[in-house]
Structure 1
Amino acid sequence: MANRRRWNIGVLLLLIIFVYVLVQFYLSTGRIRGLVTPLEASEEDHARLQIALISQELDNPFWRSVEQGALEAAGQYHMELQYTGPFRIDAEEQMKLLEKAIASKMDGIILQGIGNEQNRSLIEKANKLGIPVIAVDTDEPGSKRLAYVGTNNTYAGQEMGRLIAVENKDPVGMIGVLVGSKDAANQRLRLEGFQSVIETYSGLSIAEVSASNISRLQAAQQAEQMLKEHPEIKYMVGFSSLDGIGMAEAVARIKPGGVKIYAFDDLEDTLAAIKNKQIVSSIVQQPSQMGYKAVSILNDYFQGRTVTPQQYTPISVLTDKEVSAR
């Protein structure tokens, strides 16, 4: 009887040990799964194509809009977008960031054309390493970039000239012009397009061209100085996004109601100035579309599809009528 009891106890102990071992096995399996799953996720994230977007100026509203479009497309195509840029406009800093992106072996790079040999050489270096480069906003002619996406800047400048001609029958008078930067290729192309139209009207002439450095404060200061030095100015034109607002402030102080202003892009303050009749109209680009299309082109390239080297995004003209309808 005692032997039987010991036997039963022994069997029970073995059963308890077996159950314990089985439970530990399942717990260990769960822990291993918990360790493996993040590793697999990390490898999946790492496998995503890494795209660098190098802006002209980090927190410029135009470039933030380019970033938003690029982020949307990157999410759609399962890519990782890294947005960067100088805090203030600095071509040298842009090229340093391009060098860094190449050294980091990014899968693709989106940037603004600068228009110098050093930038073209860096793009060629990326090309040799198999890194496709897309130029947005400003092209980099003569480089090994895969494609340009953005406004046809020469055409946009011509449209600005036609706005003055069409909205003012038999236009006569002096024009004050602001550009974001005299060194930026997109600004030069807009100015050249504008000049090509203005030259066909004998009654129109450009009094002065000044740079605002894409600063509202400097735009206002340059416009004010221009108006003081050339009181005969009847029209003012701005080719970067903050120029129109700055010019409106200067005109309100120096020559209220005496100058017609034509702006670029559709910042909220620009729209308000159009609505308040301080700005006649503004040529509007599609920066978000530029970013989206640039990433889409990279996806086409990675998929082995043929890429069209120049893809212009549309522009439109906003007057008080369109602003009121928004």
Structure 2
Amino acid sequence: MKSAHKNTVFIVLLGITAALIVGSAFLQLRVGVNAAKTSRIDPGKEYGRYVMLIAERIDSPFWQMVYAGALEAAEELDCVVELSGPLSGADRRSTDEYLDYAIAARVDGILCYVHDDAQTRANLALAAKKGIPVVTLENDSVSSPRISFVGVSSWELGKLLGEQLVRTGGNSSRALVLTDGSAWKSSENIMLSGMREAVRQFSGISVVPLGSADFSGSGFEEAVRRRIMEDMSLDVIVSLRVEDTMLAAQSLIELNQTNRVSVVSFRESPEIYEYLRKGIVSAVVVVDARQMGRRAIESLVEYLDTGHTNDYVITDMHVVNAENLGVYRE
């Protein structure tokens, strides 16, 4: 019976995947991963578990590395992992839609970036009702029936960013923090609290958030550029997203303000590392994305095997600066 069930799951999963690719390019599976193998499904082999990894956006180097780590662990633990999610920032479909399809495919488990909103909590409740365990990645939904969260501590991230703020701007500086600002991202509020705690002993430091969710169109970009030009006490811009780091760095270059304002970035990309080399970005806080993917698979399999796993699994963070940049670019 177990073999028949696995074969049925496999057929359903392939059928849904094929329909989505042909009909709307909804899923993009077997994505090329930097320095990693892609998922290989052998139709003649019976795998122990079928897992869907739903990324925030699958064109992101970060999520490709999460997938790479998941693949490594999956191969050791007799799982096959498929990657799905919005194709890029221009893809307006939400991760909830991909979560719906993963549930319909009756996969054995789901690793998922989530929005902590009513729709997501309803989907996670449905998955639990159908006996499909879900591990949330990077952003959590604490009140949902997910089995585990794997990601960074928002408080510790804030403290780490605060420490880099002090090292960059000194004991008396003004920082503009570029956030998403969406109501469902409670993690950002925790991060800001951690940052303020890290700089609390320095009365001359002020932290001012600016959320992109409060603007439409090019409004956020214009607001950032206006702050750079009008706030002459501004010393540091702290960015929580790759696209916002790029916006800040490019704005500083175009406005000829790179000698006055520096950028501290959460998240890396080849372009951000190049800005770091040029001195426009002073520090980059990076998450061990491969470790996140590996620990997510391990937590899921532990739950499937034993019925329990750790509720909260923390992944490592590192600071990249001009001194150690060569190590991280290799």
**TM-score, reference length from structure 1:** 0.77
Where structure 2 has 5 or more consecutive residues not aligned to the other structure, the ranges are 1-41
1:302 Cα offset (Å): 2.3
Paired residues of 1:219 and 1:247 also in contact (CA < 8 A):
no
Per the alignment, do residues 168 and 236 of structure 1 end up closer, same or farther by CA in structure 2, a change over 3 Å counting? closer
Matched, 1:76 2:68: no
Could you report, residue by residue, the CA deviation over 1:60-118 in whole angstroms, capped at 9, with x for unpaired residues?
22111111111222222222212111234579621121122112211100111311122
More helix by share: 1
Alignment of 1:81-230 (within 5 A): 81-88=81-88, 93-169=94-170, 171-180=171-180, 182-183=182-183, 184-211=185-212, 222-230=223-231
Secondary structure at the counterpart of residue 324 of structure 2: helix
- Once residues 278 and 212 of structure 1 are traced to their aligned partners in structure 2, the CA distance between those partners, rounded to angstroms, is 25
Secondary structure at the counterpart of residue 303 of structure 1: helix
1:202 Cα offset (Å): 2.1
1:316 Cα offset (Å): 1.1
In the alignment, which residue of structure 2 is the partner of 1:33?
none
Secondary structure at the counterpart of residue 297 of structure 1: helix
1:195 Cα offset (Å): 3.4
1:290 Cα offset (Å): 0.8
- Once residues 92 and 192 of structure 1 are traced to their aligned partners in structure 2, the CA distance between those partners, rounded to angstroms, is 31
Could you report, residue by residue, the CA deviation over 1:249-283 in whole angstroms, capped at 9, with x for unpaired residues?
21122213101211112312222222221111111
Could you report, residue by residue, the CA deviation over 1:273-323 in whole angstroms, capped at 9, with x for unpaired residues?
222211111111111111111111122222226411111001111111011
Paired residues of 1:210 and 1:222 also in contact (CA < 8 A):
no
In the alignment, which residue of structure 1 is the partner of 2:263?
261
Secondary structure at the counterpart of residue 50 of structure 2: strand
Secondary structure at the counterpart of residue 202 of structure 1: coil
1:139 Cα offset (Å): 1.5
Paired residues of 1:65 and 1:288 also in contact (CA < 8 A):
yes
In the alignment, which residue of structure 2 is the partner of 1:49?
49
Secondary structure at the counterpart of residue 247 of structure 2: helix
Q: Partner amino acid for 2:121?
A: R
Paired residues of 1:135 and 1:148 also in contact (CA < 8 A):
yes
Q: Partner amino acid for 2:250?
A: E
- Once residues 78 and 219 of structure 1 are traced to their aligned partners in structure 2, the CA distance between those partners, rounded to angstroms, is 46
Could you report, residue by residue, the CA deviation over 1:167-203 in whole angstroms, capped at 9, with x for unpaired residues?
554x223211212453434444323322343455321
Paired residues of 2:169 and 2:236 also in contact (CA < 8 A):
no
Could you report, residue by residue, the CA deviation over 1:112-144 in whole angstroms, capped at 9, with x for unpaired residues?
131112212221221121111001111111111
CA RMSD in angstroms, aligned pairs only: 2.7
Paired residues of 2:114 and 2:140 also in contact (CA < 8 A):
yes
Per the alignment, do residues 239 and 42 of structure 1 end up closer, same or farther by CA in structure 2, a change over 3 Å counting? closer
Paired residues of 1:155 and 1:190 also in contact (CA < 8 A):
yes
- Once residues 88 and 195 of structure 1 are traced to their aligned partners in structure 2, the CA distance between those partners, rounded to angstroms, is 32
Q: Partner amino acid for 1:150?
A: G
**TM-score, reference length from structure 2:** 0.76
In the alignment, which residue of structure 2 is the partner of 1:246?
247
Paired residues of 2:52 and 2:82 also in contact (CA < 8 A):
yes
Aligned residues: 281
Deviates more, 1:182-191 or 1:230-239: 182-191
In the alignment, which residue of structure 2 is the partner of 1:311?
313
Paired residues of 1:71 and 1:81 also in contact (CA < 8 A):
yes
- Once residues 110 and 91 of structure 1 are traced to their aligned partners in structure 2, the CA distance between those partners, rounded to angstroms, is 20
- Once residues 297 and 50 of structure 1 are traced to their aligned partners in structure 2, the CA distance between those partners, rounded to angstroms, is 15
Could you report, residue by residue, the CA deviation over 1:18-40 in whole angstroms, capped at 9, with x for unpaired residues?
xxxxxxxxxxxxxxxxxxxxxxx
Bigger Rg, structure 1 or 2: 1
Secondary structure at the counterpart of residue 248 of structure 1: helix
- Once residues 87 and 222 of structure 2 are traced to their aligned partners in structure 1, the CA distance between those partners, rounded to angstroms, is 21
Per the alignment, do residues 155 and 52 of structure 1 end up closer, same or farther by CA in structure 2, a change over 3 Å counting? same
Paired residues of 2:276 and 2:322 also in contact (CA < 8 A):
yes
Paired residues of 2:55 and 2:63 also in contact (CA < 8 A):
yes
In the alignment, which residue of structure 2 is the partner of 1:235?
236
- Once residues 59 and 167 of structure 1 are traced to their aligned partners in structure 2, the CA distance between those partners, rounded to angstroms, is 31
1:156 Cα offset (Å): 0.2
